[in-house]
């Protein structure tokens, strides 16, 4: 059984697969400290129970190849059914991409593509360093903390080509207000600029 918040069909709005059709599987539950700017805080609470067969059938019914498994923190449920769901989806020929904060280990046996978004909270990075070797790319939410993020990538020798920078903001205006500074930061450091396409398109609408 999985604890699910929502499953819906959309386009991936951010990161390395931005703009691609995708089915989103948002699992419930997160790890404190929570991000005060989170726009999916509703996923931190308990969702609804869904058995693997029902979840699998709903996901593949959209006939979309890219499956984005997010949260909350999806890897909290790795041993509770997520591992088997991943296998079933890969056996079907789907691509599986995870959105994780990196607060806990990315499982060593996952075959999905992990986009890790470390968070600087309470004046520290809340991040399991083993994920430096397990994530495929890193995505950072930036406000005015450019130096903190740059220092993190340099300290851990993360190649700029693996770094995606996303302006903080859960509304269209908040995003656009940070575009110019974020653009300059990425250009100066060789990072990817990752706008949040779903926010720019739908503002703060849920489930898109």
- pLDDT tens figures, 34-58: 998 888 999 998 899 999 999 999 9
Nearest to 70 by CA among 120, 29, 21: 29
114 has a pLDDT exceeding 80: yes
Whether domain 2-202 has CATH 3.40.91.10: the reply is no
Q: Quick check: helix, strand or coil at residue 2?
A: strand
155 and 161 in contact (C-beta within 8 Å)?
Answer: no
What residues contact 132, with CB distance under 8 A and at least 6 apart? 156, 158
Position 208 scores a pLDDT of 78
The pLDDT assigned to 148 comes to 97
> pTM for the whole thing?
0.95
Is residue 187 predicted with pLDDT exceeding 90?
Answer: yes
Tell me what the mean pLDDT of segment 66-79 comes to: 97
pLDDT at 50: 97
Whether residue 207 has pLDDT greater than 80? no
Rounded CA separation 147/111 (Å): 33
Residue 27 CA to residue 100 CA, distance in Å, equals 11
> Looking at residue 204, what is its pLDDT?
84
3-state secondary structure of 194: coil
Q: Is the pLDDT score of 189 beyond 80?
A: yes
């Amino acid at each position: 059984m999985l604890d699910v918040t929502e499953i819906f069909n959309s386009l991936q709005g951010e990161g390395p697969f931005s703009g691609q059709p995708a089915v989103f599987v948002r699992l419930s539950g997160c790890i404190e400290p929570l991000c005060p700017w989170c726009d999916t805080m509703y996923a931190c609470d308990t969702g609804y129970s869904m058995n693997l067969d029902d979840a699998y059938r709903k996901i593949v019914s959209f006939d979309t190849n890219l499956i984005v498994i997010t949260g909350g923190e999806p890897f909290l449920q790795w041993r509770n059914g997520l591992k088997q769901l991943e296998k079933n989806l890969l056996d079907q020929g789907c691509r599986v991409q995870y959105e994780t904060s990196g607060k806990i280990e990315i499982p060593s046996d996952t075959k999905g593509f992990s986009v890790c978004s470390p968070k600087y909270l309470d004046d520290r990075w809340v991040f399991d360093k083993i994920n430096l070797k397990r994530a495929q790319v890193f995505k950072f939410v930036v406000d005015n903390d450019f130096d903190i993020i740059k220092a993190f990538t340099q300290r851990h020798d993360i190649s700029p080509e693996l770094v995606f920078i996303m302006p903080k903001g859960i509304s269209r205006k908040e995003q656009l207000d940070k575009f110019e500074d974020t653009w300059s930061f990425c250009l100066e450091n060789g990072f990817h600029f990752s706008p949040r396409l779903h926010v720019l398109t739908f503002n703060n609408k849920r489930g898109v």
